[in-house]
Amino acid sequence: MSDRPRGFRGFRRHRLGMIGLAMLGIAVVVAFVAPLLAPYDPYANVTITIADIFQPPSGSHLLGTDDGAKDVLSALIYGARVSLIVGFAGAIISMLVGGTMGLIAGYRAGWLGQVLMRITDFFLVIPDLALLIVLVAIVGQSLRNIILAIGLLGWTGTARLVRSQTLSVRERKFVLRAKAMGAGDWYMLRRHVIPQVLPLMLANTVLVVSLAIISESTLAFLGLGDPRLISWGQMLNLGFTRGAVSAGAWWAIIPPGLAIVWVVLSVTLIGTALEDLLNPKLTRHHLEPEEIVATSPSGAQPVEDVLLDVRDLTVAFEGEQGPLIAVENVSFEVGRGRVVGIVGESGCGKTTTVLGALRLLAPGGKIVDGQVLLDGLDLSRMEPDELRRLRWDRVAIVFQGAMNALNPVRTIGSQIVEVIRTHDGDITKDTARARAGDLLEMVGIPRRRVRAHPHELSGGMRQRAMIALALACEPDLIIADEPTTALDVMTQAQILELLEDLQEQLGVSMVVVTHDLGVVNDACDDVVVMYGGRVAEKGPVARVFREPQHPYTRLLLDAFPTIEDPGRPLVSIPGAPPRLSDLPPGCRFAPRCPSAFERCHEELPPLYVTRSGEASCFLLAEPAFAGDEGV
């Protein structure tokens, strides 16, 4: 189903919008068929007498005559042409200039965006009317010059509106997903950013039409209109300057004034209706792709049977007081056909780790050390174009919050087709659509829902659609970031079962980011427990859960209910994870650890080999301090 018919039906239900459309339609029709409607030709040369000037309305002149004995009704009809042409042409120029400036400034940001916005601010502080009068007086009073002047001076509001919306859209997860699948900047602008911004741009452009008509009327009223053409503003100018007021000839002034009000009111009603219907009400998100160059040395060799090898990954963000370390010396491996869970409280660096591994960090984030090896290829040092081709072909992401990760104005099927054809330009649309239907059926969604939009699916079905997107190019590795967040218990269980079935069926490796130990226990082979941006403990799930070696892991398990011992009291971990700007000097968990001793507050513990894997805790080196808890 297309969005266009549904949107038009919504507009039809907007009473004021339909009234405005009818009013504007009347004005356009009158202007288009002016030679047929006008009883006289206002451009014709006629011989007049003083008695013909300012004649009141009569049967021969329904709206009387003006100072030149011309029929006011005919001039009013012909004047609609000039006013509407200037209004729409000026608005289109404003949209093109302002839209382009806003898109570039919002999407590219950085120094270029700042320069463009400073230029916009410069024009904003100059009074539009004063500058317009000066400009038209200098370049001349032709219709073309008036249109260009109005268009080139009226773009600033559009630029600021488009920039603000572009800033919002570019940080939405479906744009990040497009980047992750290997799409370039122009492709993302054309297929994801512009379709989201364009409806609001069009609504704003309709409103700009009214401003352009008022500007033209003002210029003409001040005697700066094209003297060869009849417009409503010029009719007002001639009426006031040639004695209509003193002669009591209201018919030479009121009709063009009402005509201007008629058109301005109509486009205002239409613009307001469009804005109500098409404003996407976008929300901001912290994720944004950014190309990062690592500083770590190259030459490391992959471990046998390991698909993804993250080695000493360190990620920092720019802060007011200097770099803030969000992830520090994180290392883990993902074997072929295995599922690794990364678990910890919110703010422990789980999502930053996987986004850093694929160089999809938020603005200001960068890899400052470490390597990310995918089959021996160091992603941290890879060229952007090469990395773009690898994303989704070799590694795909199921983003947290499927509603935000899917483009709301495009169908589910079209988004899957987009992924397939981006990486295989030779495949036909029909073949890609068939493949999209197969993928949806694979994840438990009926093929007929290929034409559904994200809002037409339930939360569980949207998450299944995201999994289908991840499978579109048959990647070797899938990263699932909180795949069960905000889903009810039954839907969570269905999604986990689906992930397990697909992993067994396709043999794909997975990294599951979660704060839910139950998800790790059900779906993962290995686990990485993170705290404060560092690895607290890692190893096979069964061993780590049976014999946790780090106090943080033990407390997480104690806080999780178990059906085997329903009477066991649950514990809570006092305090909260440390802020990046206030990391403790020693072990990150020491301020909250019940077993911490002096050394824990002074030094960062290394990873020690344990019975269950590896753990970062000094209790393993000095078990005498473990007390009754043991390690």
Average pLDDT estimate for 560-581: 80
Decide which of 599 and 302 is more confident.
599
pLDDT at 626 over 60: no
State the pLDDT at residue 226. Answer: 79
Residues 575-578: contacts with CB under 8 Å, at least 24 apart:
576/345, 576/347, 577/345, 577/346, 577/347, 577/348, 577/531, 577/532, 578/532
Decide which of 59 and 282 is more confident.
59
Q: What gap in Å lies between CA 395 and CA 509, rounded to an integer?
A: 9
Alpha helices in 222-253 (DSSP H): 232-241
Q: How confident is the model at residue 310 (pLDDT cuts 50, 70, 90)?
A: very high
State the pLDDT at residue 161. Answer: 82
State the pLDDT at residue 197. Answer: 81
pTM higher than the cut 0.75: no
Taking CA 534 as the corner, what is the angle to CA 529 and CA 525, rounded to the nearest 5 degrees?
25
Q: Which range, of 362-376, 491-505, 603-617, averages the lowest pLDDT? A: 491-505
State the pLDDT at residue 8. Answer: 53
CB 546 within 8 A of CB 617: no
Q: What gap in Å lies between CA 11 and CA 625, rounded to an integer?
A: 72
Q: How confident is the model at residue 40 (pLDDT cuts 50, 70, 90)?
A: confident
pLDDT at 497 over 60: yes
CB 336 within 8 A of CB 305: yes
State the pLDDT at residue 10. Answer: 63
Q: What is the dotted CATH code of the domain comprising 3-37+62-278?
A: 1.10.3720.10
Q: What gap in Å lies between CA 207 and CA 17, rounded to an integer?
A: 12
Can you give the three-state secondary structure of 526-590, one letter per residue? EEEEEECCEEEEEEEHHHHHHCCCCHHHHHHHHCCCCCCCCCCCCCCCCCCCCCHHHCCCCCCCH
Average pLDDT estimate for 28-44: 86
Q: What gap in Å lies between CA 528 and CA 544, rounded to an integer?
A: 9
State the pLDDT at residue 287. Answer: 32
State the pLDDT at residue 623. Answer: 65
The proportion of the chain whose per-residue pLDDT surpasses 90, expressed as a percent, equals 18
Q: Cα 352 to the chain's mean position, in Å?
A: 20
- Helix or strand or coil: residue 605? coil
Quote the crossing angle between the two packed helices 194-221 and 254-278, to the nearest 10°: 170
Q: Which range, of 180-194, 411-425, 588-602, averages the lowest pLDDT? A: 180-194
Q: What gap in Å lies between CA 577 and CA 589, rounded to an integer?
A: 8
Q: Which range, of 16-25, 237-246, 290-299, averages the lowest pLDDT? A: 290-299
Candidates 205, 206, 290; CA nearest to 24 is 206
Q: How confident is the model at residue 181 (pLDDT cuts 50, 70, 90)?
A: low
**Tokens 């839209």 belong to residue:** 99
List the beta bridge partners of residue 479: 397, 511
State the pLDDT at residue 294. Answer: 39
State the pLDDT at residue 625. Answer: 53
Q: Are strands 339-343 and 509-514 parallel, antiparallel or unpaired?
A: parallel
What is the identity of the amino acid at 569? P
Average pLDDT estimate for 505-531: 89
Candidates 390, 389, 345, 346; CA nearest to 372 is 390
State the pLDDT at residue 361. Answer: 84
Average pLDDT estimate for 409-419: 87
State the pLDDT at residue 593. Answer: 93
Average pLDDT estimate for 327-347: 92
Task: Take residue 529 and report the two structure tokens written for it.
Answer: 């427990």
pLDDT averaged over every residue in the chain: 81
pLDDT at 372 over 90: yes
Average pLDDT estimate for 26-50: 83
pLDDT at 170 over 90: no
State the pLDDT at residue 70. Answer: 82
State the pLDDT at residue 612. Answer: 86
